[in-house]
Amino acid sequence: MNTATLAGSGALDATPRADGAAQTEAPGGVQIEHLTVRFGARTVLDDLSLTIERGELLTVLGRSGCGKTTLLRFIAGFIEADGLAGTLTVAGRDLTHVPPHKRNLGLLFQSYALFPHLSVFENVAFGLRARRISTKEIARRVADALKLVQLGDAGHVMPAQLSGGMQQRVALARALVIEPDVLLLDEPLSALDANLRASVRSELKALHERLPNLTIVCVTHDQDDALVLSDRTLLMREGHIAQLGTPQELYDKPNDAFVARYLGAVNLLPPNVAFALGDARYGERDRVACLRPEAVRIVPLGEGQLHGTITSVEWYGSVLSVQVALDAMPDEPVLVSMQRGTGVTPEKGVRISVRYEADDVVLIQP
């Protein structure tokens, strides 16, 4: 039983130790070795190995059915499959065969699953009461958890009186109050509208900064969650790791076209179109040139590397999304993202050129 306080526990210490002792006194993080999950003839995860460092926030991205939620459920201990192989170590403990309720993991899913007949305080205290923590200890730890999620005065309130974003914070406090070794988040923002989602995303990022020793694994299908929240991002494809790295690495240097497209809009060009004759990359045959829309500028005709005609202009507030049919490849328009009011004003049907830096072009697998 973990009876450490929120303020003093290794996982949830809001103040990093200057001497670095918090990082070396106890093991942490998650290690998965050779994980395979099969349901009948279908292989959901295929020989997957992964190390998540203590204090790291890892987002797991991928399309429906790629295995990302299965990975999270394996860590939580909820997988019952016809074929299951692999090992799991969390905070230095082998949890491969440990039942879910003994793993000391915090869970937050799409449905917050708050008890409607219990107050905010009692919802957060539920897990502590199940662990037979003393009443005095419960009061202090619940107060600390609610303060951590900025709901310090809401203990007496019923869930129905709260907004969706506040209910999400209550569920988060309930997951944190047990002082978990790892916090598992499964699409935690999907039930929120766009504006609230952005706000809560920022709050999650700030929370992680206040709890530098807490390991967080967040499953999401939203690329913005990964780009904003992650220390590293794991992009999955059909039960395998498509790429693992920082959000910047996946965005700027994707392994292949699948990764490039998943992390945002992208232009994929033949090398003999993207590069000038004489460039060593001009004759590349096995890879394609990856060029992000924001790296492309529209300039007057004749002043850029490639020429074409503007086929559409879409306004997204401060950003314009412009499609250009290049003379060199008229059937596959190039996308240009530009700040409104900068450069040449784009108009449909106008002949223009596009300019970009050669260093902004990355050769990737198709």
What is the pLDDT at residue 25? 41
- What is the mean pLDDT of the segment spanning 71-84? 92
Please give the Cα distance from 251 to 261 (Å, whole number): 9
pLDDT in tens, 193-249: 878 788 888 888 988 998 999 999 999 988 888 889 999 999 999 999 999 999 999
* pLDDT value, residue 4: 34
Rounded to 5 degrees, what are φ and ψ at 9? -75, 155
Indicate the pairing of strand 306-316 with strand 319-326. antiparallel
Q: What is the pLDDT of residue 1?
A: 33
pLDDT-derived band of residue 7, with 50, 70 and 90 as boundaries? Answer: very low
The answer on pLDDT for 84 being more than 80 is yes
pLDDT tens figures, 316-335: 999 999 999 999 999 999 99
Average pLDDT, the chain: 89
Closest CA to 175 of 193, 190, 188, 159: 188
Domains of the chain: 21-257 (3.40.50.300), 286-364 (2.40.50.140)
CA–CA distance, 55 with 75 (Å, rounded to integer)? 16
pLDDT of residue 314: 96
pLDDT of residue 127: 92
Residue 27: its pLDDT value, please?
A: 58
Contact 20, 10 (CB under 8 A): no
Between residues 273 and 2, which one has the greater pLDDT?
A: 273
Mean pLDDT, residues 54-59: 96
Mean pLDDT along residues 105-129? 92
- Name the residue type at position 13: D
pLDDT at 301 over 90: yes
302 exposure class (CB count in 10 Å sphere: 0-12, 13-18, 19+) = exposed
* Weakest-pLDDT range from 51-60, 117-126, 203-212: 203-212
Which two structure tokens, joined as six digits, stand for 79?
């997988």
Least confident interval from 124-138, 193-207, 217-231, 274-288: 193-207
pLDDT digits (tens, 9 = 90+) for 86-96: 999 999 999 99
Cα separation, 48 vs 30, whole angstroms: 13
Q: Is 173 helix (H, G, I), strand (E, B) or coil?
A: helix
Q: Which range has the worst mean pLDDT, 184-188, 235-239, 251-255, 351-355?
A: 184-188
pLDDT at 26 over 50: no
For the stretch 10-23, pLDDT in tens is 344 443 333 333 34
What mean pLDDT is predicted for residues 126-153?
94
- Token reading at 56: 């790291």
Full-model pTM: 0.87
Query: For position 22, what pLDDT does the model report?
Result: 37
pLDDT given at position 43: 95
**How high is the pLDDT of residue 168?**
87
Mean pLDDT value of segment 293-319: 95
pLDDT, residue 10, reads 39
Share of the chain above pLDDT 90, in %: 76
